[in-house]
Structure 1
Amino acid sequence: MSESKFNPRTMILLLIIIFVSIIRVAAPFSGDFKVIANFSAVGAIALFGGAYFNNNVKAFAFPLLVLLLSDIFIAKTSGYGFFYGGWYWTYIAFILMVVVGKVMMNKVTVLSFIGSAVVAVLIHWIVSDISAMYVPGLYPPTFAGYIACLTAAIPYEKSFLYGTVAYGAVMFGAFEMLKAKYPYLSLTNSRIAA
């Protein structure tokens, strides 16, 4: 009978995600919420989950659960609606961003992180902005309306990119430093995959 040892890798990954999520949940209480709303950690959380969770259920479930819970909390506390028309496009974009983390970040480096962040933000921009077509009176539900929406979203996506890079630098940097100090956190040294 093999002895199962506790592997703190999953717990540490979750703690990093939860810490960054708390910052996101606190954002609506800022007086500048509309200004900082897109300077968000969600892109970094998606990439982080994709890059570090070897188990696909954890890679997708943990970041999606954090997004869902924080969206519900923000909607309840700030008065911003949650189930707006086409809201699911944001979740589809988020799932695709996790895939980017899994595919592009087999080895976590500064270059793979920056490249993944850019691709994730492009996916977010192209996919999540489809939801604007479902909001009555916002943009006409036509190709021209979609292009107008994408054009109007450029400043917000720049903020999203800055947030993804800033929060990602903290998340990836913290875990890589922990792995350097505690090699048993590395998948190659762990008996139980995260």
Structure 2
Amino acid sequence: MSLKKIDPRFSLLLLFVVAAGLLRILGEGKITPFSNITPIGAMALFGGAYFTGRWKAYLFPLLTLFVSDIIIQQVFYPEFSQGGLLYQGWIWTYAGFTAMVLAGQLIIKKVNVPSLMMASVAAAVAHWLITDFGVWLGGCTDPTTGKLYTKDMAGLLKCYAMAVPYMKAMFFGNLAYGAIFFGVFELIQRRSTLRVVTNDQLQITNE
């Protein structure tokens, strides 16, 4: 294969996404002290902001999420797999993750602190609303009563209220890991011959 056919930008983006998946696995395995602060939201925002092909923005982060989910589920939480590869209600988690990628596409047109803040908030809220709607719909137990959440508005609101701490953790993960991913990537591309404009433009210059 000719070196001219190798896209260094795509390779670097893919490396960041894979690194986020590895960090997530290490966190879930308690190998790092940051198990409650997940990088998956930052990975979604990063992919949505930087992958120029729309399908790539969803495919590679979702594939990384899927592979890391399988490893985490089978290695650390096999009791929740119920004989399958993934956990119950996974479809809602993936829908929430897809919404976070969309937030990266729509909000981070230019990489700066305000856009990353807004995208981090939007991604955390979208993930919270979608995934915990699935928790409520799937008939999960209210930890304060030991009974199932009631199938009415009160039950849904209670389910959302109980998940607020997780939504906050998602926001802090989006912000912390997002600052690292976006910051390091921007630093690398500014110090190299690769000039990147999020989503739409790619220009290679010789300096």
Q: TM-score range by the shorter chain?
A: 0.7 to 0.9
Find the counterpart in structure 2 of residue 100 from structure 1.
103
Question: Where does 1:71-90 land on structure 2 (aligned, <5 Å)?
Answer: 71-79=69-77, 81-82=80-81, 83-90=86-93
**Structure 2 CA distance for partners of 1:16 and 1:119, relative to 1, 3 Å:** same
- The CA distance in 1 between the partners of 2:154 and 2:100, in whole Å, is 26
- Matches of 1:137 and 1:100, distance apart in 2: 30
* SS of residue matched to 1:140: coil
What is aligned with 1:30?
30
- Does the alignment pair 1:112 with 2:115? yes
Moved segments of 4+, more than 4 Å: none
3-state SS of paired residue (1:107): coil
Moved more, 55-64 or 5-14: 5-14
Asked if structure 2 preserves the Cα contact closer than 8 Å seen for 1:90 and 1:127, the reply is yes
- How many pairs align? 187
Q: For 1:69 and 1:31, how far apart are their aligned partners in 2?
A: 18
Unaligned runs of 5+ in 2: 143-148
- Displacement, 1:124? 0.7
Give the secondary structure class of the aligned counterpart of 2:37: coil
Is 1:14 aligned with 2:11? no
Judged with a 3 Å threshold, the aligned counterparts in structure 2 of structure 1 residues 37 and 43 are, in CA distance, closer, same or farther, namely same
Q: Structure 1's 180 and 45: CA in aligned 2 closer, same or farther, altered over 3 A?
A: same
Answer whether contact 1:46 1:63 (CA < 8 A) is retained: yes
SS at match of 1:121: helix
**Residue 184 (structure 1) aligned with residue 194 (structure 2):** yes
Say which of 33, 57, 60 aligns to 1:59: 57
State TM-score, norm by structure 1: 0.87
User: Contact 1:183–1:189 at 8 Å: present in 2 too?
Assistant: no
SS across alignment from 2:163: helix
Scaled by the length of structure 2, the TM-score of the pair is: 0.82
Q: Distance in 2 between matches of 1:122 and 1:129?
A: 11
CA distance in 2, matches of 1:106, 1:159: 25
The unaligned stretches of length 5 or more in structure 1 are none
SS of equivalent residue, structure 1 residue 45: helix
